[in-house]
């Protein structure tokens, strides 16, 4: 029983990591209807920026918010400079651009900061008394993910800008007709996704240590999480993250063995796409052809 | 009949061959009266570029040898290429060295995957593939691969030593093992099983593997802890080693913790994990550590420091990779020296397999290099050390062959 509890809590902790990255994936999908393969590397790069700031003597929260702001600008810039020119290209071309971004960010970071692992500080206190199963940072990171989720929900639900962004993604032409600047909405979506990604990165790094390949494995699980929950539903993505984390651990420890843990994520991705492509809480899209 | 013939044939051959052999110099491609051309492949870029300093320290040592007159009157010139730790590139570079640059031998390619990629090529071409920089056990296979030889203690040798230590100090230990699910992890695991022998089945209570794509090893660590083990063998690469050391401490599990030599960097592994969480870790070593205060007045390390300052001034004096490069370069020089004027590939390989009690001064006292026609594993002994919170402290005897 103790072992099961330990696995479930450890699963929730890693699930929190998947959830935060899945949120960024959902964000970009909502804004652009594309899945960004470079999302993880973008988050990793932002985390290095935060690491540099903190090492230069800046207090944690100062570096945190500065990094979020910087990542937002970086996201907007990438959309304007790199994605814009291929806006009307076939999906495959865009995917190639995403993969190029992934490789470039990974090697540039390795080149600047080397591939040696680095420690990244946690803003949470060291000991809360339940450290045996879950570290205070892991608990704190889950909290941060939930707060980001709430903010996102409020943004899309209650602000005119959020409404405009949703409209721009779902029906660009009509949006243009009612005066929404669709191009800028897309750039804004990129900026927000990069900002959320940077928060995810800063929450993940204290757990897995900071290195240029930090997000490689995480991204795959985050895809599974986003798909399980529904790729266009932030709440679903977070739920999916926790589900994938717990399932992976419990199945890995007691049923299929550690060797097949990664397969759990892949089976989930394929299973969801075959059985229920919209996920648990995503919308079903019907388009007339 | 056969037995009787051999000495006669040998005598005849010696009588016929020796006068001419002494007078006549024999060369293969890459060797001449003036020079010995050596090829070298190392990652200077990419994820493993931290090892780049090994190549630089080797080049610096050869420069020193050449300045002091070379070996048997010949300069040893080394061409070094970057493969970025990418096996396809290693193949390209090895072919370039052998077919275009026409080197006599290839020395010290780094990493198990890059060396695996050129393993068959080197043996098909019959070009010495010497002192490769990886601990995989498969480089010691003179029957199937007579042109390839390792250098450092291999993973199985190392794992056997941990097994011996456990059998000696804690015969009733309940052991948990965490290992990376690939050739490297399984190599260690096999050595560990062999070392424990028949008792492996009862002593090892739980084995858990992880993939390099796993974000954390927390789940595996929880399984191992739940097994009730009191001894833990940690076969992981640096990032996962740091995670495992930290998790073992945080979850209140206090096993006797053996950490493989792959991940013993104080700055790159133990500091990220937390130095206080690393106290008591046990590993093996075979080189003198440049940061260890006990070698402060050691003649060999003073010599090494002087060499570094003169020939590789930009190199890091605390990085043990620079000691490694120095030591392995000395082994190459000894091999070429032994080959004398017969610088054929066959003879270079024969000399590499005839190192007898060769001592490199920066290896730990008592560790000698020995090879033979059936033993292609130059260093086979190590000494255990324990981490005291700041540095690794050696204890016990030199173990192994």
Residue A167 placed within a domain: yes
CB B206 within 8 A of CB B177: yes
Residue B123 placed within a domain: yes
Are residues B165 and B149 part of one domain? no
Which residues make beta-bridge pairs with B210? B180
Q: What is the DSSP secondary structure assignment for residue B39, as one 8-state letter?
A: E
Listed in sequence order, the DSSP H helices in B340-375 are 345-352
Q: Are A119 and B272 a contacting pair at CB < 8 A?
A: yes
**Spacing of C-alpha A63 from chain mean position:** 20
> CA B112 to CA B119: how far, in whole Å?
10
Are residues B239 and B179 part of one domain? yes
CB B207 within 8 A of CB B179: yes
The better pLDDT of the pair A233, B328 is held by B328
Are residues B363 and B253 part of one domain? no
Are residues B302 and B275 part of one domain? no
Q: Please, what is the average pLDDT of chain A? A: 87
Q: What is the DSSP secondary structure assignment for residue A37, as one 8-state letter?
A: T
Are residues B102 and B74 part of one domain? yes
Rg (alpha carbons) of chain A, rounded to whole number: 19
* B231-244: pLDDT as tens digits: 999 999 888 999 99
Residue A251 placed within a domain: no
Are residues B279 and B168 part of one domain? yes
pLDDT at B2 > cutoff 70: no
Token pair for B371: 């090879």
Q: Are A117 and B252 a contacting pair at CB < 8 A?
A: no
Residue B183 placed within a domain: yes
> Where does the pLDDT of residue B51 fall: very low under 50, low under 70, confident under 90, or very high at 90 and above?
confident
Residues A144, A149, A153, A155: is their CA dihedral positive or negative?
Answer: positive
- A225 contacts on B by Cβ (under 8 Å): none
How many angstroms separate the CA of residue B267 from the nearest CA in chain A? 9
CA distances to A124, B241, B256 from B212, rounded to whole Å, are 28, 12, 25
Residue B348 placed within a domain: yes
Of B285, B307, B325, the residue that ends a domain is B285
The better pLDDT of the pair B47, B109 is held by B109
Instruction: Tell me which of B21-30, B202-211, B315-324 is least confident.
Output: B21-30
* A71-84: pLDDT as tens digits: 999 999 999 998 88
Instruction: Tell me which of A27-31, A258-262, A283-287 is least confident.
Output: A283-287
- pLDDT value at residue A278: 75
Residue A8 placed within a domain: no
Q: Which of B222, B269, B271 sits opposite A10 (nearest CB)?
A: B222
Q: Which domain holds residue B207?
A: 155-285
Are residues B124 and B164 part of one domain? no
Residue A249 placed within a domain: no
CB A21 within 8 A of CB A145: no
- A119 contacts on B by Cβ (under 8 Å): 271-272
Are residues B367 and B305 part of one domain? yes
* A81-115: pLDDT as tens digits: 988 888 788 888 888 999 999 989 988 998 888 77
Residue B353 placed within a domain: yes
- A221 contacts on B by Cβ (under 8 Å): 215
Which residues make beta-bridge pairs with B393? B386
Residue B334 placed within a domain: yes
- Which of A79, A34, A28, A33 minimizes the C-alpha distance to A189? A28
Domain count, chain A: 1
- pLDDT value at residue A128: 57
* B280-299: pLDDT as tens digits: 999 999 999 888 888 989 99
Residue B5 main-chain phi, psi, to 5 deg = -65, -35
Token pair for B233: 């063998």
**Spacing of C-alpha A184 from chain mean position:** 21
CA distances to B57, B124, B161 from B281, rounded to whole Å, are 29, 43, 15
pLDDT at B40 > cutoff 80: yes
> CA B118 to CA B99: how far, in whole Å?
14
B182 inside 8 A of chain A by CB:
no
Q: What is the DSSP string of B171-211?
A: TT--EEEEEESSHHHHHHHHHHHHHHGGGHHHHEEEEEEE-
Residue B195 main-chain phi, psi, to 5 deg = -65, -40
Q: Are B214 and A217 a contacting pair at CB < 8 A?
A: yes
Task: Give the CATH number for residue B148.
Answer: 3.40.50.2300
Q: Are B47 and A213 a contacting pair at CB < 8 A?
A: yes
Are residues B260 and B159 part of one domain? yes
Q: Which domain holds residue A149?
A: 19-215
- Which of A171, A198, A165, A219 minimizes the C-alpha distance to A35? A219
Helix, strand or coil, per DSSP, at residue A146: helix
How many angstroms separate the CA of residue B201 from the nearest CA in chain A? 19
Are residues B122 and B168 part of one domain? no
- pLDDT value at residue B287: 92
Domain count, chain B: 2
Are residues B275 and B164 part of one domain? yes
């Amino acid at each position: 029983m103790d072992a099961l509890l330990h696995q479930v809590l450890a699963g929730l902790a890693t699930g929190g990591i998947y959830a935060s990255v899945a949120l960024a994936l959902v964000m970009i999908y909502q804004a652009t209807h594309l899945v960004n393969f470079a999302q993880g590397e973008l988050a990793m790069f932002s985390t290095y920026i935060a690491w540099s700031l903190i090492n230069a003597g800046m207090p944690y929260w100062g570096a945190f918010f500065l990094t979020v702001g910087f990542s937002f600008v970086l996201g907007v810039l990438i959309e304007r400079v790199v994605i814009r020119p291929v806006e009307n290209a076939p999906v495959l071309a865009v995917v190639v651009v995403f993969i190029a971004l992934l490789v470039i960010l990974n090697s540039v970071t390795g080149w600047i900061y080397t591939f040696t692992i680095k420690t990244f500080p946690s803003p949470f206190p060291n000991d809360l008394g339940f450290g045996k199963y879950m570290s205070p940072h892991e608990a704190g990171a889950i909290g941060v993910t939930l707060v980001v989720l709430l903010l996102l929900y409020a943004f899309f639900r209650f602000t005119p800008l959020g409404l405009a962004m949703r409209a721009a993604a779902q029906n660009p032409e009509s949006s243009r007709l009612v005066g929404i600047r669709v191009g800028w909405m897309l750039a804004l979506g990129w900026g927000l996704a990069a900002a959320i990604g940077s928060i995810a990165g800063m929450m993940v790094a204290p757990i897995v240590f900071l290195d240029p390949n930090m997000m490689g494995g995480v991204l795959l699980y985050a895809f599974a999480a986003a798909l399980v929950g529904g790729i266009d539903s932030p709440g679903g993505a977070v739920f999916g993250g926790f589900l994938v984390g717990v399932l992976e651990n419990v199945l890995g420890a007691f049923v299929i063995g550690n060797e097949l843990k990664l397969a759990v994520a892949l089976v989930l991705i394929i299973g969801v796409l075959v059985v229920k492509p919209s996920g648990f809480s995503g919308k079903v899209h019907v388009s007339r052809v | 009949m056969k037995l009787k013939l051999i000495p006669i044939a040998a005598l005849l051959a010696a009588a016929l061959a020796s006068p001419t052999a002494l007078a006549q110099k024999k060369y293969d491609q890459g060797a001449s009266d003036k020079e010995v051309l050596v090829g070298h492949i190392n990652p200077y870029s990419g994820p493993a570029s931290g090892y780049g300093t090994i190549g630089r320290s080797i080049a610096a040592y050869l420069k020193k040898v050449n300045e002091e007159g070379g070996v048997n009157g010949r300069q040893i010139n080394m061409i070094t290429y970057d493969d970025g730790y990418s096996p396809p590139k290693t193949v390209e570079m090895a072919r370039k060295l052998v077919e275009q640059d026409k080197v006599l031998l290839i020395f010290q390619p780094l990493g198990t995957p890059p060396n695996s990629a050129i393993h068959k090529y080197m043996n098909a071409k019959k070009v010495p593939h010497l002192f490769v920089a990886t601990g995989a056990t498969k480089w010691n296979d003179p029957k199937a691969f007579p042109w390839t030889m390792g250098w450092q203690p291999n993973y199985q040798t190392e794992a056997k030593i941990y097994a011996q230590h456990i059998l000696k100090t804690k015969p009733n230990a309940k052991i948990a093992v965490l290992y990376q699910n690939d050739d490297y992890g399984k190599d260690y695991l096999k050595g560990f099983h062999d070392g424990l022998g028949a008792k492996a089945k009862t002593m090892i209570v739980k084995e858990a593997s992880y993939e390099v794509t796993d974000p954390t090893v927390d789940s595996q660590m929880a399984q191992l802890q739940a097994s009730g083990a009191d001894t833990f063998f940690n076969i992981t690469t640096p990032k996962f080693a740091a995670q495992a050391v930290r998790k073992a401490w945080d979850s209140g599990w206090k096993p006797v913790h053996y950490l493989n030599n792959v991940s013993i960097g104080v700055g790159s592994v133990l500091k990220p994990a937390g130095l206080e969480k690393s106290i008591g870790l046990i590993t093996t070593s075979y080189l003198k550590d440049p940061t260890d205060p006990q070698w402060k007045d050691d003649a060999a390390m003073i010599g090494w420091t002087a060499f570094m300052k003169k020939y590789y001034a930009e190199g890091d004096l605390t990085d043990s990779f620079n000691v490694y490069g120095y030591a392995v370069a000395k082994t190459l020089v000894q091999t070429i020296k032994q080959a004398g004027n017969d610088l054929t590939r066959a003879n270079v390989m024969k000399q590499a397999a005839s190192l007898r009690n060769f001592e490199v001064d920066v290896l730990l006292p008592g560790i000698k290099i020995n090879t033979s026609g059936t033993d292609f594993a130059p260093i086979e002994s190590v000494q255990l050390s324990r981490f005291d919170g700041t540095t690794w402290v050696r204890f016990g005897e030199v173990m192994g062959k």
